[in-house]
Amino acid sequence: METRKLSIGYRLEKGVKVLGENFNLNLDKGSFVALLGPNGSGKSTLIKTLSGLLQTLEGEVLIDGINLKKINKAQRARKISVVLTDPIYTQGLSVFDVVSLGRFPYTNWLGKLTDKDEAIIQESLELVDMHLFKHRKLLTLSDGEKQRVMIAKALAQQSEIVILDEPTAHLDLINRVEIMKLLQKLAHEQERAILISTHELDLAMQSADVLWLMREDKQISVGAPEDLILNNSMQEVFAKSSVDFDHLTGMFKIKHETKAEMHFQSDDAQIFLWSKKALEKIGVALVDNKTLKNSLIFESDSGLWKIQINGAEESFSSLAELVGYLKNLRE
Amino acid sequence: MLKRGRIFILLAILLLLLFMADIALGSVSISLSNVWELLLHGRDGSALSYIIWDIRLPKAIAAVMVGSGLSISGLLLQSLFRNPLAGPSVLGISSGASLGVATYVMAGGMGVISYGLLSAGGLALFSIAGSLLVLMAVMAVSVKVNDTVSLLIVGIMFGSITGSLVSVLQYFSTADLVQHFIIWTFGSLGAMTWNELALVAAVVLSSSLATLFLMKPLNALLLSDQYAESMGVSVKRTRHWIIIISSLIAGVITAFAGPIVFVGVAVPHLTRNLFRTVDHRILVPAVLLVGSILMLICDIISEMPGSSIGLPINSVTALFGAPVVIWIILQNRRKNLG
């Protein structure tokens, strides 16, 4: 799939709301692409435009060189499958029912499943590891399990392109990681082109082959996650006054305002790191500078933090106590 | 699947038995063997043959048509609104048809509208127009609110509006025409002539046939509109067909059998519970059977076999239908709580 000079957005009663202009994108077989961007930047609109559920404003979306507009709905359903954020209205459907709807574009007017269809449904369920839940009703499943079922539905549709709108929203950490790993695996092993929109920056950076970054100026930055970090695109899109992007870890950090500095000494690297993080939160920066008036020492023998501040001396057995003491002092 | 097949066979046998029973039972009871005999040999000029051919048989056929038609209409509306409480009477669509009928009967009776050649056709046309009008209005509102209770209230409101318009018509009408109209509102399966019955049957049968082609897209709509669209369904076209079919059925049935309540809501729900499925490929044929069966039972009860009195069919359907609606609301509540 590729786009040429694609503009996206939606038509309002008065005029047009443009969310992105002049996108020239490529979505290749066997690659796992994550679309990132702040809230309201038009991720969902792009996802739906590429799925054919929304009209393009300008330019075109091409599949195997053919304009998406010229492909009828039934044909399109064989080329693109989607997983949406829509709540599934009928919770009484069984897992098998939902996945068998993926065969919709291939079955006859009655929707009769052939042996081949059944085999594909079974295979799709096995790929997402939900084959043991085949006869369970949707309403008895957890959010993570439901998401797997919807992915199996998309797989059963046997399209080269699979597009997912925020597949990890509402999931807990373990499920988020598992879904991302699953999608990455499916892209690589099943030779499909998988595109997701997501807010999971760190997970996307660790699993996606390519990132699409929606920018505030209605442009889009494309590249491997690592390249986007090296050329500063990541920081441009997401860094705000309250957030710092750490180029070494590829993580975003909350920016804390420093109000005071204190000398700190410890031979233990871990103690040093986590003490520093704990005090950062209340605006105290720990530095290795003996000339400072106030100082903190960690004694590994006693396991105590000893502080010298404004002439007073105190010891603490935990960081929580230390932080509490400093907060009190400030008031 | 085998189990479902068995339920279908049992229902079909039950339908046949009830159909015969409906013909046999009434103020004059006729033995089943007599019924069979008279049906096989056609009219022979006897009083019994008259009763069977001109009263009981058309009434039994009407019961089947009305029961299956209203049930299909109810199933389609429930799938369209994604709401188990939708149905022609609950959403005010039958009231819309009543308005059409009232306009035709009373305004027509006073010569405002010329009857034209085919009065049955004219009546049906007005009734269908009325039901279509209300259905469109409810659709327009449901875009903004689509929770069960709100939609129900909107339906009741449209019912009241059409009701008051009917009252206005009555006020300006003659006593004769008003009485004519009020008797119509009680609902009756026995008032149809063979010609009218043929018209109802033609509409119900062709609509049911058309619904067979909607079963697959209706199943896709069980997920959501956008999912259905992504699987190649034209949601708009499907919605148009549902509206046309369900208002056609509700309109034509209401025109000739009166506003029959609750059948359209209750039958799809009972059927879903009986077959334990939401698959329209099973539900569409199943509601046709269950609807016919229930309507035949209601008709037999309304005849009060052995006595000379008869109850209005409307009160009988309400007696079993209203509790089903309460049951649906309780079930939904439990689902929401759980």
Least confident of A230-244, B93-107, B142-156: B142-156
Least confident of A73-87, B135-149, B297-311: B135-149
Query: What is the average pLDDT score of chain B?
Result: 86
pLDDT at position B217 is 95
Most confident of A276-290, B15-29, B57-71, B245-259: B57-71
Angle between helices B235-257 and B93-102 (to 10 degrees): 50
3-state secondary structure chain B: CHHHHHHHHHHHHHHHHHHHHHHHCCCCCCCHHHHHHHHHHCCCCCHHHHHHHHHHHHHHHHHHHHHHHHHHHHHHHHHHHCCCCCCCCCCCHHHHHHHHHHHHHHHHHCCCCCCCCCHHHHHHHHHHHHHHHHHHHHHHHHCCCCCHHHHHHHHHHHHHHHHHHHHHHHHCCCHHHHHHHHHHHCCCCCCCCHHHHHHHHHHHHHHHHHHHCCHHHHHHHCCCHHHHHHCCCCHHHHHHHHHHHHHHHHHHHHHHHCCCCCHHHHHHHHHHHHHCCCCHHHHHHHHHHHHHHHHHHHHHHHHCCCCCCCCCHHHHHHHHHHHHHHHHHHHHHHHHHC
Residue B114 has pLDDT above 60, yes or no: no
Phi, psi of A82 (to 5 degrees): -130, 155
Cβ-based contacts of B234 with chain A (< 8 Å): 73
Per DSSP, A71 falls in state: S
CB-nearest to B223 from A53, A73, A88 is A88
Nearest to A216, CA basis, from A1, A21, A10, A15: A21
> Which residues, at least 6 apart from B236, have a Cβ–Cβ distance to it below 8 Å?
none
Check A104 against B232: CB less than 8 A apart.
yes
Better-scored residue on pLDDT, B115 or B300: B300
Residue B115 has pLDDT above 90, yes or no: no
* Best mutation target, B218, B231, B278, B279, to test chain A (most A CBs within 10 A): B231
A109 — contact with chain B (CB < 8 Å)?
yes
CB-nearest to B224 from A75, A88, A97 is A88
Domain boundaries, chain A: 2-239, 260-330
CB-nearest to A73 from B215, B222, B234 is B234
pLDDT at position B334 is 60
- The residue-averaged pLDDT of B21-49 equals 85
- The nearest CA of chain B is from the CA of A71 a distance in Å of 11
The answer to whether the CB of A316 falls within 8 A of the CB of A309 is: no
Cβ-based contacts of B232 with chain A (< 8 Å): 72-77, 104-105
Most confident of A257-261, B219-223, B319-323: B219-223
B331 — contact with chain A (CB < 8 Å)?
no
- The nearest CA of chain B is from the CA of A56 a distance in Å of 16
Tokens of A249: 């870890």
pLDDT at position B191 is 83
pLDDT at position A106 is 95
Cβ-based contacts of A77 with chain B (< 8 Å): 230-232
Least confident of A74-83, A209-218, B206-215, B303-312: B303-312
Cβ-based contacts of A80 with chain B (< 8 Å): 230
Query: What is the average pLDDT score of chain A?
Result: 90
CB-nearest to B231 from A88, A90, A101 is A101
pLDDT per position as a tens digit, A195-223: 999 998 889 999 999 999 998 888 999 99
In terms of CA atoms, which chain B residue is nearest residue A111? B216
pLDDT at position A250 is 73
- The residue-averaged pLDDT of A5-28 equals 89
CATH of the domain at B261: 1.10.3470.10
B150 — contact with chain A (CB < 8 Å)?
no
pLDDT per position as a tens digit, A99-139: 999 999 999 999 899 999 999 999 999 999 999 999 999 98
Domain hosting B313: range is 2-337
Residue B336 has pLDDT above 60, yes or no: no
pLDDT at position B291 is 96
Judging by DSSP bridges, how do beta strands A193-197 and A243-246 pair with one another?
unpaired
pLDDT at position B335 is 57
The answer to whether the CB of A299 falls within 8 A of the CB of A308 is: no
Is residue A213 classed as helix, strand or coil in its secondary structure? strand
Better-scored residue on pLDDT, A1 or A11: A1
pLDDT at position B116 is 47
Cα A32 from Cα B215, distance rounded (Å): 36
Least confident of A24-28, A145-149, A235-239, A321-325: A235-239
How many domains is chain B partitioned into structurally?
Answer: 1
- The residue-averaged pLDDT of B292-297 equals 96
Residue B117 has pLDDT above 50, yes or no: no
Q: SS3 helix, strand, coil % of chain A, rounded to 5?
A: 35, 25, 35
Cβ-based contacts of B225 with chain A (< 8 Å): 86
Cβ-based contacts of B226 with chain A (< 8 Å): 53, 82, 84, 86
> Which residues, at least 6 apart from B176, have a Cβ–Cβ distance to it below 8 Å?
B109
Cβ-based contacts of B213 with chain A (< 8 Å): 109
Angle between helices A319-330 and A269-280 (to 10 degrees): 30
Confirm whether A2-239 and A260-330 share one CATH topology.
yes
Nearest to B68, CA basis, from B175, B195, B208: B208
A242 — contact with chain B (CB < 8 Å)?
no
- The nearest CA of chain B is from the CA of A281 a distance in Å of 41
- The residue-averaged pLDDT of A287-314 equals 88
Check A105 against B232: CB less than 8 A apart.
yes
pLDDT per position as a tens digit, A89-100: 888 899 999 999
A82 — contact with chain B (CB < 8 Å)?
yes
Burial tier of A112 (Cβ tally within 10 Å: 0-12, 13-18, 19+) = exposed
* Best mutation target, A45, A49, A89, to test chain B (most B CBs within 10 A): A89
- The nearest CA of chain B is from the CA of A199 a distance in Å of 22
The answer to whether the CB of B67 falls within 8 A of the CB of B292 is: yes
pLDDT at position B240 is 85
Least confident of A43-57, B24-38, B113-127: B113-127
Check B279 against A97: CB less than 8 A apart.
yes
In terms of CA atoms, which chain A residue is nearest residue B280? A110
Nearest to B303, CA basis, from B89, B63, B15: B63
Better-scored residue on pLDDT, B335 or B279: B279
Residues paired with residue A296 on neighbouring β-strands, in sequence order: A264, A307
B115 — contact with chain A (CB < 8 Å)?
no
Cβ-based contacts of A76 with chain B (< 8 Å): 232
Task: Name residue A240's amino acid.
Answer: K
Cβ-based contacts of A51 with chain B (< 8 Å): 230
pLDDT per position as a tens digit, A136-172: 999 899 999 999 999 999 999 999 999 999 999 889 9
Architecture per CATH, domain A2-239, reads as 3-Layer(aba) Sandwich (3.40)
pLDDT at position B338 is 34
Least confident of B48-62, B64-78, B136-150, B245-259: B136-150
Cα B40 from Cα A239, distance rounded (Å): 87
In terms of CA atoms, which chain B residue is nearest residue A76? B232
Cβ-based contacts of A86 with chain B (< 8 Å): 223-227
> Which residues, at least 6 apart from B70, have a Cβ–Cβ distance to it below 8 Å?
B87, B88, B249, B250, B253, B260, B263, B264, B267, B291, B295
**3.90.76.10, 3.40.50.300, 1.10.8.60, 3.40.50.800: which CATH number matches A260-330?**
3.40.50.800
CA atoms within 13 A on the CB side of B188: 14
pLDDT at position B118 is 46
Judging by DSSP bridges, how do beta strands A80-83 and A251-254 pair with one another?
unpaired
Cβ-based contacts of B335 with chain A (< 8 Å): 139
Tokens of B87: 């149905």
Cα A75 from Cα A155, distance rounded (Å): 16
Cα B334 from Cα B322, distance rounded (Å): 19
Check B215 against A105: CB less than 8 A apart.
no
Kindly provide the b/e burial profile for residues B157-181, where b requires at least 16 CB atoms within 10 angstroms of the residue's own CB: ebbebbeebbeebbeebeeebbeeb
Cβ-based contacts of B86 with chain A (< 8 Å): none
**In whole angstroms, what separates CA A35 from the centre of its chain?**
8
pTM of the model: 0.85
Cα B81 from Cα B249, distance rounded (Å): 17
> What angle is formed at CA A281 by the lines to CA A278 and CA A283, rounded to 5 degrees?
115
Residue B337 has pLDDT above 70, yes or no: no
Check A89 against B219: CB less than 8 A apart.
no
Q: How far apart are the first and last CA of chain B?
A: 29
Cα A222 from Cα A6, distance rounded (Å): 15
Check A104 against B231: CB less than 8 A apart.
yes
Quickly list H helices, chain A: 43-51, 73-79, 95-101, 115-127, 143-156, 173-190, 201-207, 225-230, 233-238, 269-280, 319-330
Burial tier of B312 (Cβ tally within 10 Å: 0-12, 13-18, 19+) = middle
pLDDT at position B308 is 77
CB-nearest to B216 from A72, A86, A110 is A110
ipTM above 0.90, yes or no: no
Please count the residue pairs, one from chain A and one from chain B, whose beta carbons lie less than 8 angstroms apart. Answer: 76
